[in-house]
Amino acid sequence: MTPRVLIVAGSDSGGGAGIQADIKTVTMLGGHAMTAITAITAQNTLGVQAVAALSPELVRQQMASVVADLGVDSVKIGMLGGADIAAAVADELADGRYGSAIVLDPVMVASSGAVLADAATIAAFERLARLSALVTPNLPELAALCGRGSLAPDDVATAARDYAAAIGTPLLVKGGHAEGALVVDRLIGPGGEILRWEAPRIDTRHTHGTGCTLASAIAEGLARGLALPQAIERARVFVRVALREAPGLGGGHGPMGHARVRLDVAAAAPTLNQVTLPMTDHAATLAFYRGLGLTPIVASGERYARFESAGGTTLSIEAAQEIGGAPLVFLEVADVDAAVVQARAAGVAVEEARDRPWGWREARLRDPSGNALCLYQAGENRRFPPWRL
């Protein structure tokens, strides 16, 4: 069944954050996005020029209308537009019809720096946090939730732990606002840190909507039955690829490239995403596939080149001696180690999985006719090996 995600958030007229980013995220991940609009904003990549909140009654009616007919598997809460709306949303969620897979993104400060919530709204977040399965503050939002103007780096973990203990809900503390070349996101519960994720910072100004996107992606994962850590892991990959695929729009904090991530999250079943063909004449073969209309996206000297089709599937050419002179078909899987176990249980001989220098984890095998196959898990490096053009 298609995961049903109810998004309670404000509208971003620029399409980079808010309801617009939420809908794109859930849709690209394969879920069905439903909405309860809390506020309308006039904004673009340079900032927020105006905000108009809807009535709490209308917000609640939107939620009730959706759950009564379509049903809800998870809820994502973003910008609320005021303390009265926050209270109305909490009242509606408290009746139990919406389940417990609720992700609260405590939106208070936009990427542009504009304040989107007052003190009363911040205080109202605590009730919503108690109803949630996860709260996803960035560092300034965590400080505000804890009643602090700011938090020193050494105080973040303790403050998050104490807040998690007070509300009985874990926090995913996002590290994008911290200094350093690595971004560290930490899942912190009442007992302290549970898990952490570290990744190189992606140097781009097109970061508008990262928090909205991450929370919606987590909610979509929970809606399809993923455990919280797996939902977070999947959501982080989605955000990072969307950052890399940003279209470069606007003069300020531009939107991410949600529409380019659809094929970058592996499905439950193996997905054909890559075929490598042997070549003997690099220049002639490169010109041949260019002539067919394929777009070169990767090059590695005279040894290798990779093309992308309009649908996102890729075709590579590689020196014949490097791949044994025969085509090699790549099937993308969500978990290559689990895929190896499953294949072996079905009587298929598969090599042990191994990590590759370009960030993939691969397991090679052959079909009964001797054709070479590779099961692979790519994550955010699916279209971004180190030698990308």
Q: Active site includes 209?
A: yes
CB 78, CB 8: distance < 8 Å: yes
The active-site residue out of 25, 169, 207, 314 is: 207
* C-alpha dist (Å) from residue 84 to 53, 61, 109, 189, 315: 10, 14, 19, 28, 54
Q: Check 41, 121, 136, 210 and give the catalytic one.
A: 210
Is-contact 257 244, C-beta < 8 A? yes
CB 60 within 8 A of CB 268: no
Any catalytic annotation for residue 146? no
Q: Is 212 a catalytic residue?
A: yes
Report how far residue 34's alpha carbon sits from residue 64's, in angstroms, rounded to the nearest whole number. 12
Query: Is residue 210 annotated as part of the catalytic site, yes or no?
Result: yes
How would you class 265 by CB atoms within 10 Å of its CB: exposed for 0-12, middle for 13-18, buried for 19 or more?
Answer: buried
152 CB neighbour count, 10 Å cutoff: 9
Using DSSP's 3-state secondary structure scheme, residue 163 falls into helix
Task: List the catalytic residue out of 10, 82, 174, 374.
Answer: 174
Q: Is the distance from CB of 164 to CB of 181 less than 8 angstroms?
A: no
> Which residue is catalytic, options 14, 15, 82, 211?
211
DSSP alpha helix (H) spans, 224-365 = 228-244, 282-291, 336-345
211 assigned to active site: yes
Q: Which of 212, 221, 254, 374 is catalytic?
A: 212
Rounded CA separation 344/152 (Å): 50
Chain CA centroid to CA 233, Å? 8
CB-based contact 195:187 (threshold 8 Å): yes
| Local structure of 136: helix, strand or coil | coil
CB 45 within 8 A of CB 15: no
- Concerning whether 176 is annotated as a catalytic residue, the answer is no
Catalytic machinery residues:
174, 207, 209-212
